[in-house]
A and B are shown apart, each in its own frame.
Chain A
Amino acid sequence: MSEDAVFSLQSHSTTVDYRGKVPVEHLDYDYIEKCKDVRYLEKILRILRSGEEGIYPHLIKFCESHLEKLDPKSRALRKAMPVATAASLSKDEWSQIADELKRWQEETKKTETTLKHQSVFDDLVKENMPPVRGSNCFVPLSQKTVLQERKKPSKCALPRDYREWDKFDVEKECQKIEEDVEKTDPPAIINSGHPKIKTQVDTSLLSQQEKLFLANREKDKGNEAFRAKDYEEAVTYYSRSLSIITTVAAYNNRAQAEIKLEHWHNALKDCLSVLELEPGNLKALLRRAVVYNHMGNFHMATEDLRTVLREEPQNTAATQLLSQIEKKTEECQQEKQCKGKKILIQEIEEADNQTDGDNKAHKTACLVQPSQPVGGEERSATPVERGDMGNAHKKPHGRGDGGPHAESNNSHHEHRRNRGGSSDKYKVPHDSKEKVANGSSKRGSTASVQGDQSGSGKATPVGGNAGETVNLDAPCGALPPPLARLKNEGNLLFKNGQFADALEKYSQAIQGYTDSGIDSPEDLCILYSNRAACYLKDGNSQDCIQDCTSALELQPFSLKPLLRRAMAYESLERYRKAYVDYKTVLQIDVSVQAAHDSVNRITRLLIEQDGPEWREKLPEIPLVPLSAQQHRREEPPSAEILQARAEKAARDAERKAEVRFSALKQEGNDFVKKSQYQDALEKYTECLKLKPEECAIYTNRALCYLKLERFAEAKQDCDAALKLEPTNKKAFYRRAMANKGLKDYLACSSDLQEVLQQDPNVQEAEKELEEVTKLLRQSLASPSPNKPRKTVPITEVEDDENVTAVPNSKNSCKGEDISINLQPTSAYEFGQSLNAARSSGNTVACAELLASTAPEMLPQFLSTQLDGHTISFIMQALHSHLLEKDPYLVYQHLNHLHTADRFSVVLMLLEKDERHHMTQLFEHLSAVQSTQFTKNDVQNLANKYI
C-alpha cells in the first residue's frame, strides 16, 4: 500500500526513464526476467499492480519473485497484510501458543498473589532510594536563546535591566563560563561509560519475586548489549544479574562475553561456576573447551569437547573446534621442541591477557572522560584552569571594541590605586598580597586624588549618560538623593559594560556615604557589593575580595557578596577559601546552582592538591544562622511573613540535615571502601547524631568497630541495630563476629545460626559457624575438670568490656545495684538492666528484676538477646533467690522462658555446669510442695529444658 509513496520518492534518477510511461512491451516475462534494474522493476510492478494495462496476477507474482531475488528488502514488496487470527495458523502452532499463554496466565496469577502478600517491605525499600532531586530547577528550552543573549551586549550597550542582573548575575556568568569552555573545544561525547554502572545491585530488601524479575531484566540487558557487540557492557549487566541471583544462564552468558573480550581466566571461572551448579551443562563445557583451547591446554579442551559430542553428536561447533585442536596438536607433535614452545605460547597469551585487561581498564577510563560534558573540570594542570577563569571574567570586557577596552584598562589601573587609598580610610583589613601590589608610598598620594575626585563627583554629577532614559534620581534605600544618584549612575554604567566608570561612581558614593554620616549599613553593603562586582568584572580579584569582606562585615551572610568573593577567591586559586564561601552560600540558599557546580569543581581540585585529607586543611565553614535569610531582606516584616519564613527555615534545616546525613553516610561508606575505618567511624557517629534511628548506620559502624577490633562497641552497635530492626541479617552476622572477637563463641554461634536461619545461602556465615563450633569445642574440651574456674575468666573478659561500653553498668559495678532499673517497660530497658546485673554478677538484682517482671513478658523482653550466659544467669538468680520466696513465680518464669526466641539454639550450646545448675533447679522445684503446680507439671517443663 505504501509503495506508491515510496516510489514517488525514489524516482528521481536519470539513467532510466523512471518518470515516463513504461512501454507495454516491458510488461513481459522475458523482459522482466532479464531486467536487473531494481528501481525499474519496482516501477513495472507498480504499473502491473495498478491495473492500468490490465490485470495479470501471474505476471505480478513473477515480477515480485524476481524483484525479491534481486533485492529482498525492496520497499515495493512490502504489503500490508490483514492481521492474522488464530485460524490463520496451523492447529499445532496455535495450540502451542494458546497453551503457553494459558500457562503464563496461571503463573502470573500466582506471582501476583505472592507479590500482594509482601507489601510489608515497602517502607524498607524506600530507605535505599536517593533523595528527592534538590530543587525545582528551571531548564531553558533552547540553547539558541542563551547564545542570542550573549551576543546582544556586543551589539547594543543595553543588555539587561539592573534588577535582572542583580538576580542572575553570578549563576549566569558561571553557566556562560561553562558554555564557553564547551564551545571552544567540544569533544564528541561517547556514551559508553559502563564503568559507571555499578556491578552490584543492592537487593537486600527485595522479595524473592522481585529479585527474580530484576535478575532476569539485568540478564536481558546483558543479552542485548551482547547482541550489539558491547561485550564489556554485557559483562557488567550479567554481573549485576548474578549479584541479585546466581543463575546458570547468566554465568554461561557472561562466560561467552568474557570469551569475546578474550578474558580467558574470567571466562574459565564462569564456566566452572556453571558446572558447579549444573555438572553436565553442554554450553559451559563447550565454552570451557574454547577457553582451554586459547589457553593452550589442548588436552583438557579435547576432553570437554568429547563430553559434549557424547551428549550431542551433531554439535557442529564442537566438531569443528575438535578438528581444529587435533590439527594443532598434530602440528605440535611433529616438531620435537614443541613442548617448550607450547608453554611459551601459553605464557605469552596470559601476559597478553593481563595487558589486555589493563588496556581495557585504561581505555574505559579514557572513555569516561569525554562522556562527562561539564567542561573545564578535567584539566589537570591548574594554570590552564586559571587562565580560563581569568578569560571568563574578562569576557564581558572583551565584548566591547578594541578602543574602549584599552581605555577601561587604563582607568581600571587608576581605580585600583584609588581603591587602595579608600580602603585604607575605612580601615578594612588589608590582604598581604595587596600590600605588595600597591606600594604604601603610592597609597598616600592616591588617597588625596581620590578625595579630590569624590569631592568633584559629589558636587556635579558628571554624566555623559545623564541623559539616559533611566531615572537617575530614583530614591535608593536610606541614601540621600546625591548618593542615590551616584549609585544609580553606577548601576547604569555597569549595565552598559563600563565597569571602570561604574567603579568610580560607587567609590564616590561610598566616600560620600561615610562623609555624610548616615547609619544605613544595608545601603553601604549594597554599594560595596556592587563595587565588588565591578572589580570582579575587571578581573581585579584582590579588591573584589576586600569589598566583599567589607560588605559582609556590614551584613553578614548576604548572598551576593559571598558569591562574588567566592568567585574572586577561585580565580586567585585560593580554593580553600572559595570552597568555604561557596559552602556558606549553599547554607543560605541551597538552590544556587552555580555554587553547587563550583563546589564540585573545587572539591576535585582540592582532592588533587591535598589528597584525601583535604577537608582537614579547610578553614572552618561558618554556620549560617537560620535567621540569615530574614536578616538579608527588609527589616520590618509582618508577623505572617515571619512565621512563613520560620517554617521555611525549619523545612530547609530539615532538608539540610537530610542532605548532610546522606553526605556523611556516603563519606563514611567511601572511607570504608578505602579501609580508613577510623575516619568512617567518625562520619557514622556524626550521622547517628543527626538520625539516631538509622539501622544501616549502626551496622556500618559496627563493621568499622570490628575492623578496628573494638568488639564490645561493635556488639553494642549491633544490638542497637537489632533493636531497630530485629531481623537484620547483617547486624546478626556482625554481632557474631564481635562475639567471636570477644571470645564469646556461644553467643557467636547462636548469632550465626540466626543468620543462617534467615538466609541459608550466606556462605560466610556457614564457614564462620564451622570455625566457631570448633573453637567452642576446644574451649569446652580443654579445661574439662575445673571448667567453672576456667570459663569465668572468659566471661569476665567480656564483662569488663561490657563495663567500658555501657556506662550504666559501670556504675552498677561500683555501687551494687544503684542504677539498675528494676521496673523495665521495654525490651531495651530490660536488656540493659539484665546486662548490668550480669556484668556485676549481681544475682540479687536479677532476682528482683525477674520478680518485678511479669512472666509472660519475659520472652518478649529477652527478644533476640538470649544467650547461654543469660540463661544460666537467670537460672542462678531464680535458684538462689526466688525459689524459696516464690516457687510459683519461678515455675511461671521457667514456663515462659522456653518460648523465647532462639531458646532451643541456645539450649543446645549450654555448657555442662550450666546444665547441671538447671537440673538442680528443677530438682529443687519439684521438691517444693505447692498448690499451684504439681510435680508432673515440673517434670513436663524439665523435659523441655533438659
Chain B
Amino acid sequence: MSSPLSKPQIITHIQKSLNYTVFDSKWIPCSAKFVCLGNFPSGTGVIQIYEVHQGEAQLIKEVEKPKAIKCGTFGATSLQQRHIATGDFDGNLNIWNLETPDVPVYAVKAHKEIVNSIDGVGGLGIGDGAPEIVTGSRDGTVKVWDPRQKDSPVANMEPMEGETKRDCWTVAFGHAFNDQDRCVCAGYDNGDIKLFDLRNMSLRWETNIKNGVCCVEFDRKDINMNKLVATSLEGKFHVFDMRTQHPTKGFASVSEKAHKSTIWQVRHLPQNRDIFMTTGGAGNLHLWKYEYPAQRCKKDSDGVDVGVAGSVNLLQNVTLSTQPIASLDWSPDKQGLCVCSGFDQSVRVLIVTKLNIV
C-alpha cells in the first residue's frame, strides 16, 4: 500500500448519542439534513430530523409514531416534495411529508409482518418512469407500490402455495434506464438472490450465496444494470457484473471476505459507482473500489457470451464501534459525506476524503 496519506481517510465529523434504537438514517436530498428512523424502548416508532450545522447535528423535528420504523427511502419522491417512504414493524408502508409529518400522505398495510427493507425509484430524477417503491418483508413477499395507486401493489412477488416462505431481508431497484425497463433484486435469509424483471413480470435470474443475504444494491438504479453487490451474514460480499447474463451460468461475480462478522449494508458512492462502503457487524467500515477487467465479456467453450468479473480493492477500513453499523447513507449532494447509525444508539456523520482521486 502506498503512503497512508494518499488514501481516502474516513473521519468522524459528528457523533450523536440517541435515546432510542436507530435502524435507518437517510440524507434529505438537496439539504444538509438527515432523518433517523427507529424505535423507543417502549416500542413506539420515531422519526427525527437533524441538520448539520457548524460541526453539530441539531435536532429540528421529532415525531413519535405508534409502530417502530425499520427502514425508509427518498427514492420515489420528487425533489420538490421530498417525501420519505417508511416501512414499519407492523408491515405498514407510509409516505410522510416531513414538513407536516403528523399524518401520512400515503398509507397502506403492505405486509403481514415487519417490512425489512424498502427502496424507491423514479423520483429525484433518478431513473425514468413511474415513481415506485418496493418493500420486502418477513412474510416472504416482495411488493412494488405506486404512490398514485391506493391500497394495492402494482406487482407482487410471493412464493407459490406450498413453497416455504423465506424471510426477505433486502430489496433494491435497478435497471431503470428508460420508462419501461426496471428490475427488482431481492435477498432472502436462506441465501437466495432473485432478480425480477418488472417489464416482463418474470423472474429473470436467481442464485444462492449460501448465507443469508443482508443487503443488495445496484451500483446505480438508473442505468442499464451494471453491477450488483450482495452482502452476506458471514462476512462475505459478492459483486456481480450484470452486463452479461449467460444462459446457464448467469452473471459473473467476484466475492471477497472482508469482515469477520455480518456485513449489514453496502452503499455505493452516488458520485462514483465503482466505490462502495460496507458496514460490518463489529462496528467497522470498509471502503472498496471495483476494478473492471480488461474485457468485460468473453466467449465460453460453446461460443456463448459470458461475463468476466473484475476485482475489488480495499481503500480503507476503520472501526467505529463495537456494535453493528446497521445503516449508512451517502449524501447525494456532497461527495464524501455520509451518515451512519449503529446499534450503539448513536448516529455519526462521517467525511471520507480524497474520493475524487482514487
Q: Do residues A189 and B163 form an inter-chain contact, with CB atoms below 8 A? A: no
Q: Quick one: which of B93-139 are within 8 Å of A by CB?
A: 122, 125-126, 128-132
B144 to chain A: closest residue by CB: A133
User: Would you call B284 an interface residue if the criterion is a C-beta within 8 Å of the partner chain's C-beta atoms?
Assistant: yes
| Contact of A84 with B260 in the complex, beta carbons under 8 Å | no
For residue A476, CB closer than 8 A to chain B, the reply is: no
CB B124 to nearest CB in A, in angstroms, measures 8
Contacting A at CB under 8 A, from B291-331, are 292, 296-297, 304-306, 313-314, 316-320
Known: A111-B30, A130-B129. A80 touches B284 (CB 8 A): yes
Q: Interface digits, A137-171 against B, CB 8 Å rule (1 contact, 0 not)?
A: 11111110100000000000000000000000000
Across the interface, B11 reaches (CB within 8 A) one of A5, A88, A187, namely: A88
For A133, give its contact among B130, B178, B314, B333 (CB under 8 Å). Answer: B130
How far, in whole Å, are A207 and B304 apart by their CA atoms in the complex? 47
Residues of B within 8 A of A105 (CB): 32, 52-53
Does any Cβ of A come within 8 Å of B79's Cβ?
Answer: yes
Contact present for B244 and A190 (CB under 8 Å): yes
Contact status of A136 and B260, CB under 8 A, knowing A85-B12, A108-B30, A190-B243 = no
Q: Which residues between 44 and 87 of chain A lie within 8 Å of chain B, taking CB atoms?
A: 68, 72-73, 77-86
Least CB distance from B268 to A in Å reads 10
Segment at the B interface, from A225-233, A621-629, A680-688? A225-233
Q: How does the 8 Å CB contact mask read for A197-236 relative to B, with 1 for contact and 0 for none?
A: 1100000000101100110010011001101110001000
* A72-B1, A84-B9, A108-B333 given; A131·B130 CB < 8 A: yes
Interface majority SS on B: helix, strand, loop or mixed? loop
* Given A105-B53, A142-B206, also A188-B247 (CB < 8 A): yes
Query: How many positions in chain A have a CB within 8 Å of any CB in the partner chain?
Result: 83
Q: When the two chains form their complex, are residues A115 and B181 in contact, meaning their CB atoms are under 8 A apart?
A: no
The verdict on A373 contacting chain B, using a C-beta distance below 8 Å, is yes
How many contacts A-B (CB < 8 Å)?
A: 227
- Residues of chain B within 8 A of A233, CB atoms compared: 223-224
Closest to B227 in A: A228
Report B-chain residues with C-beta under 8 Å of the C-beta of A352.
none
Are A210 and B79 touching (Cβ within 8 A)?
yes
Enumerate A72-110 residues with CB–CB distance to B below 8 Å.
72-73, 77-86, 88-89, 93, 97-98, 101-102, 104-105, 108-109
Q: Which residues of B contact A81 (CB under 8 A)?
A: 316-319
Other-chain residue from B131, B159, B196, B285 in contact with A129 (beta carbon distance below 8 A):
B131
Closest to B305 in A: A188
**Are A9 and B257 in contact (CB-based, < 8 A)?**
yes
User: Which of these binds chain B: A117-125, A405-413, A481-489, A549-557?
Assistant: A117-125
Contact A104 B32 (CB under 8 A): yes
Q: Which residue of A lies closest to B125 (CB)?
A: A214
In the bound complex, do residue A137 and residue B11 qualify as a contact, i.e. CB atoms below 8 Å apart?
Answer: no
Q: Which residue on A lies nearest to B201, using beta carbons?
A: A137
A562 to chain B, nearest CB (A): 22
Please tell me if B160 contacts chain A, counting CB pairs below 8 Å.
Answer: yes
Do A374 and B80 touch (CB < 8 A)? no
Contacting A136 at CB < 8 Å: which of B156, B178, B220, B246?
B156
In the complex, are the beta carbons of B154 and A138 less than 8 A apart? Answer: no
- Complex contact B125–A217 (CB within 8 A): yes
Among the listed B128, B148, B271, B317, which residue makes an inter-chain contact with A132, where contact means beta carbons less than 8 Å apart?
A: B148
| Cβ–Cβ contact B31 & A108, under 8 A | yes
Say whether B181 contacts A196, CB under 8 Å. yes
List the A residue with the shortest CB-CB distance to B271: A220
Task: Determine whether A331 belongs to the interface, using a CB cutoff of 8 Å to chain B.
Answer: no
In the complex the two chains form, what is the Cα distance from A719 to B235 in whole Å? 65
The CA of A214 and the CA of B30, in the complex, are separated in Å by: 12
Inter-chain contacts of B346 with A (CB < 8 A): none
Q: Is B245 an interface residue (CB 8 A)?
A: yes
Q: How distant is the Cα of A671 from the Cα of B206 in the complex, in angstroms? A: 41
Contact residues, B136-181 vs A (CB, 8 A) = 144, 146, 148-149, 152-160, 163, 175, 177-181
CB distance from B35 to the nearest CB of A (A): 14
The answer to whether A312 has its CB under 8 Å from any CB of chain B is: no
- What 1/0 flags go to B228-252 for Cβ under 8 Å of A? 0000000100000011111110000
CB distance from A229 to the nearest CB of B (A): 7
B125 adjacent to A108 (CB under 8 Å): no
- What's the least CB distance linking B132 to chain A, in Å? 8
Does the CB pair A141–B30 fall under 8 Å? no
B6 beta carbon closer than 8 Å to chain A: no
Nearest opposing residue in chain A for B204, CB measure: A373
Contact at A141–B203, with CB atoms within 8 Å? yes
Question: Across the interface, do B259 and A84 meet the contact criterion of CB distance under 8 Å?
Answer: no
* A72 neighbours in B (Cβ, 8 Å): 1-2
Q: Are A138 and B158 in contact (CB under 8 A)?
A: yes
Residue on B with the closest CB to A183? Answer: B247
Known: A81-B317, A101-B351, A191-B243. A132 touches B81 (CB 8 A): no
B53 to A: closest C-beta gap in Å: 7
Q: Is the CB of A119 within 8 A of B80?
A: yes
B131 near A139 with CB under 8 A, answer no
Within 8 Å by CB of B260, from A5, A82, A214, A221, lies A5
Residues of A with C-beta under 8 A to B11: 83-86, 88-89, 97
Q: Is the CB of B334 within 8 A of A133?
A: no
Q: In the assembled complex, how far is the CB of residue A592 from the closest CB belonging to chain B, in whole angstroms? A: 13
Q: Is B222 an interface residue (CB 8 A)?
A: yes
Interface check A186, CB cutoff 8 A: yes
Known: A101-B337, A187-B247. A221 touches B220 (CB 8 A): yes
Known contacts A80-B319, A84-B9, A104-B32: A213-B179 contact under CB 8 Å: no
- Output the least CB separation between A235 and chain B (Å): 14
In whole Å, how far is A526's beta carbon from the nearest beta carbon of chain B? 26
**Known A-B contacts A72-B1, A81-B318, A82-B319; A142 and B203 likewise in contact (beta carbons under 8 Å):** yes
A278 near B: Cβ within 8 Å?
A: no
User: What's the least CB distance linking A233 to chain B, in Å?
Assistant: 7
Closest chain A residue, CB of each to CB of B130: A130
A139-B156 in contact (CB<8A) = yes
Q: Which residues of the partner chain B approach A108 to less than 8 Å between Cβ atoms?
A: 30-32, 333-334
CA distance A81 to B286 in the complex (A): 10
Interface residues of B in 192-213 (CB under 8 A from A): 194, 196-198, 200-204, 206
Question: Which B residues lie within 8 Å of A98 (CB)?
Answer: 55
B49: min CB distance to chain A, Å: 13
Give chain B residues whose Cβ lies under 8 Å from the Cβ of A141.
157-160, 163, 194, 203
**A105 to chain B: closest CB distance in Å?**
5
Which residues does chain A contribute within 8 Å of B122, judged by CB atoms? 129
CB closest chain-A residue, reference B256: A75
CB of B90 closer than 8 Å to a CB of A:
no
Contact between chains at B79 and A213 (CB < 8 Å): yes
**B274→A192 contact, CB < 8 A:** no
* B226 at interface, CB cutoff 8 A: yes
Per the 8 Å Cβ criterion, residues 631-667 of A in contact with B are: none
- Chain B, Cβ-Cβ closest to A185: B247
> Does A193 sit at the interface, judged by CB under 8 A?
yes
Report the Cα distance A78→B53, complex, angstroms.
35
From B12, B31, B257, A5 is in contact (CB under 8 Å) with B257
Complexed CA–CA distance, A112 and B60 (Å): 15
Closest A residue to B249 by CB, please name it.
A188
Residues of B whose CB lies within 8 Å of any CB of A are 1-2, 9-13, 30-32, 52-55, 78-81, 122, 125-126, 128-132, 144, 146, 148-149, 152-160, 163, 175, 177-181, 194, 196-198, 200-204, 206, 220, 222-226, 235, 242-248, 257-260, 270-274, 284-285, 292, 296-297, 304-306, 313-314, 316-320, 333-334, 337, 350-351, 353
5 additional A-B pairs beyond A84-B318, A187-B247, beta carbons within 8 Å, are A83-B320, A88-B11, A130-B130, A190-B244, A593-B201
State the 7 A-B residue pairs at the shortest beta-carbon distance, nearest first.
A186-B247, A188-B305, A133-B154, A189-B245, A83-B318, A214-B125, A137-B201
Would you list 24 pairs from A and B whose C-beta atoms are within 8 A, ordered by A residue? Answer: A2-B259, A5-B235, A80-B284, A83-B11, A83-B12, A83-B320, A89-B11, A93-B353, A105-B32, A108-B334, A116-B80, A125-B78, A132-B148, A133-B155, A136-B154, A139-B155, A139-B156, A139-B201, A141-B160, A187-B247, A190-B297, A191-B226, A197-B224, A198-B178
